[in-house]
Structure 1
Amino acid sequence: MKQTEHLAQIAACFHCPDFEANLILGGAQYREYAHRAPVAFRGDVSAHLYLVLDGLASADLYGPDGQYARLVGYGAGELFGAYPTPVRHRADIVAEGSLSVLMMETAFISGLAQSHARIAQGISEFMARQLDLLLDRMAARIGLSANGRFYQALLSRADSDGWIKPLPVVSAMAVGVNTTRETASRALAHLLRRGIVKRHDHGLEIVSIRMLEDLVI
């Protein structure tokens, strides 16, 4: 069952047919990490590319005086690691809550991209979307309220039909927008009460994108 789900997630994230998705899955390894478990350490050589299936991978940095900063959080459907060649990790990568990923060797996924145009196109589009999302998060952190950042994150995760699949983990999203789980939970409850979003077993449906956009302040 998990293999079928992983295939569907790869096809959706890389925007590729099942044939190419199967090629990617063939070289991927499934990994699970408990809360605050290390995925990688700053300075280590990264020779893998990771696709987040569920949870949040946090890129943490500590200064010489012990000052802590979270550079970025990678949520479900996002990539982190090395591509197209190995690099050194710029920060510690740790699991924020339960984290599950598909791990692929950088050389393997780069080789597939060189020999399969659909995979190369999928990766380039994937990374372009993720860069836009990262810039949105940076802008939101500076200019929006905590609720506004959470609502913007929901909009960013939604597909063209207004669906967020699978159901987002509120605690992981809260970390991703630099707020508390309680604040994020109240913000989501507000949307549910007003009927702006609906919760389903398989995902979250944004009923009125315009009304949600109006709350991003």
Structure 2
Amino acid sequence: MSGRSKGMHRDERITAIAAMFDCAPALAAQVEPSMQAVSFAHKAVLAHQGDSSEHCWLVIGGTVHIQVNGIDGQRVQLAYHGPGEFFGAYPEPATHRADMVAHGAVDLLRIRCTELAALAHSQPALAAGLARRLARQLDLSLDRMAAQTTLSAPGRIHAELLRLADADYRIVPAPQITALALNANTARETASRAVSALERRGIVERSERGLTILAPRMLRDMIY
């Protein structure tokens, strides 16, 4: 496992911790010394399947893909974690069940799982915030699983585009087709055809700056 310390100021770390745990800045300041800000470049492997897992990771920016090799030798994505999500060991050290791979530049806060467990035990407000965060993350994971089970492959691509878009229905930079395919658990060719079809119908528009969803209502209606 490798990573470089990120130049995040202490005030920024405290703000991020307070937001992640839904706690007061004063409590976040007590937690901050136990956390290390690190970043990884695109495609960097944070940990391999079978490695010892002693840390809990909080995603500040970017996406971490959780991948394994399938029985046919192809890479299979089990899940992914984006900003505001936790992954790793908790409350005790464990073993990584899959590879953790950075997709794009990834910024994280890292803490030993035993330290986080001790802090949660001694600080009820921190424990409550952690429980709320993990409950929201479980809901999100179940939504993703339901989408993979009940939606068609193009429908999952359409849902993923809406998930990635900001309030103005823009995705900057434009999503890579390979990443779309992995996040929707489908083939790259399927994702490419789905996006091209949306462009032909004028539902999305790609440019050098990014991708814009021009007809979000139509795109939502195509999620099935």
TM-score (norm 1): 0.74
* Contact 1:133-1:156 at 8 Å conserved across structures: no
How far does the alpha carbon of each residue in 1:12-40 deviate from its partner, in whole angstroms, 9 at most, with x for none?
22211112222232211111111211101
Match of 2:74 in 1: 67
CA contact (8 A) 2:66 2:98 kept: yes
The 3 A distance-change label for structure 1 pair 136 and 65 is same
Aligned to 1:2: 8
Q: What is the match of residue 176 of structure 1?
A: 183
Cα separation, partners in 2 of 1:25 and 1:138, compared to 1, 3 Å: same
Q: 2:136 aligns with which of 116, 129, 132?
A: 129
AA of the residue aligned to 2:214: R
Aligned match of 2:114: 107
- CA deviation digits over 1:143-197, x for unaligned, max 9? 2245643564577789xxx799xx7984497343346686399676586424x5x
1:193 paired residue number: 214
The Cα shift of 1:77 comes to 1.1
Q: Which consecutive residues of structure 1, in runs of 5 or more, have no partner in the other structure?
A: 197-209
1:12–1:188 CA distance, 2 compared to 1 (3 A): farther
Provide the C-alpha distance between the structure 2 equivalents of 1:62 and 1:123, rounded to a whole number of angstroms: 31
Does 2:105 match 1:84? no
Question: CA 1:18/1:170 → structure 2, altered by over 3 Å: closer, same or farther?
Answer: farther
Aligned counterparts of 2:185 and 2:213: Cα–Cα separation in 1: 22
Runs of 4 or more consecutive aligned structure 1 residues displaced over 6 Å after TM superposition: 154-158
- Once residues 126 and 164 of structure 2 are traced to their aligned partners in structure 1, the CA distance between those partners, rounded to angstroms, is 22
Q: In 1, Cα distance between the equivalents of 2:12 and 2:173?
A: 16
CA contact (8 A) 2:65 2:102 kept: yes
Distance, in Å, in 1 between the alignment partners of 2:72 and 2:157 is 31
Match of 2:62 in 1: 55
Give the direction of change, closer, same or farther, for the CA distance of 1:15–1:101 in structure 2 (3 Å limit). same
The CA deviation at 1:64 is 5.6
SS of residue matched to 2:43? coil
User: Residues 15, 86 of structure 1: CA spacing in aligned structure 2 closer, same or farther, 3 A cutoff?
Assistant: same
Identity across the alignment (%): 37
Confirm or deny: 8 A CA contact 1:43 1:88 kept in the other structure: yes
Instruction: State the aligned residue count.
Output: 200
Q: Is the 8 A contact 2:77 2:183 kept in 1?
A: no
- Cα distance change of structure 1 residues 154 and 192 upon mapping to structure 2, 3 Å threshold: closer
Match of 1:28 in 2: 35
| RMSD of aligned Cα (Å) | 3.5
Cα deviation for residue 140 of structure 1 reads: 0.6
The 8 Å contact of residues 35 and 95 in structure 1, kept in 2 or not, is answered as yes
